[in-house]
């Protein structure tokens, strides 16, 4: 069993308040959940900043290749949104053999 995690640091476009931030981040998270129903997605950081967001994505898979492929697709999907700029993406892979 493999657990893969993706952390995305994004810069939001013309956002001037936390309310406007939610209007951008919520649909982005919902889009990932809709297209990849087997992943867990949440806003995980920069909660008090209105132009930055950290989005966490996690997937459990039988193979490392599948887990990595799903996270790569999620990263490309987020990067393709015109209203945000993807600043960084970090993937981690865990196995059930790790202590």
Global confidence as pTM: 0.89
**Residue 18: inside a domain, yes or no?**
yes
**Residue 70: inside a domain, yes or no?**
yes
> Per-residue pLDDT tens for 52-90?
999 999 999 999 999 999 999 999 999 999 989 999 999
What are the CA-CA distances from residue 95 to residues 4, 26, 33 (Å)? 9, 30, 23
Counting the structural domains of the chain, the total is 1
> Per-residue pLDDT tens for 22-56?
999 999 999 999 999 999 999 999 999 989 999 99
What pLDDT sits at residue 98? 61
**Residue 99: inside a domain, yes or no?**
no
Closest C-alpha among 79, 95, 98 to residue 87: 79
**Residue 30: inside a domain, yes or no?**
yes
CATH number for the domain harbouring residue 27: 3.30.70.1120
**Residue 64: inside a domain, yes or no?**
yes
What's the domain range around 34?
2-94
How many helices and strands, by DSSP H and E, does the chain display? 2, 4
**Residue 32: inside a domain, yes or no?**
yes
């Amino acid at each position: 069993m493999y657990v893969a995690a993706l952390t995305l640091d994004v810069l939001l476009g013309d956002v001037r308040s936390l309310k406007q931030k939610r209007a951008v981040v919520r649909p982005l998270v919902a889009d990932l959940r809709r297209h990849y129903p087997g992943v867990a997605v949440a806003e995980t950081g920069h909660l008090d900043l209105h132009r930055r967001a950290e989005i966490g994505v996690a997937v459990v898979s039988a193979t490392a290749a599948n887990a990595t492929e799903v996270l790569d697709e999620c990263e490309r999907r987020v990067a393709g949104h015109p209203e945000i700029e993807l600043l960084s993406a970090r993937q981690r892979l865990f196995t059930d053999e790790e202590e």
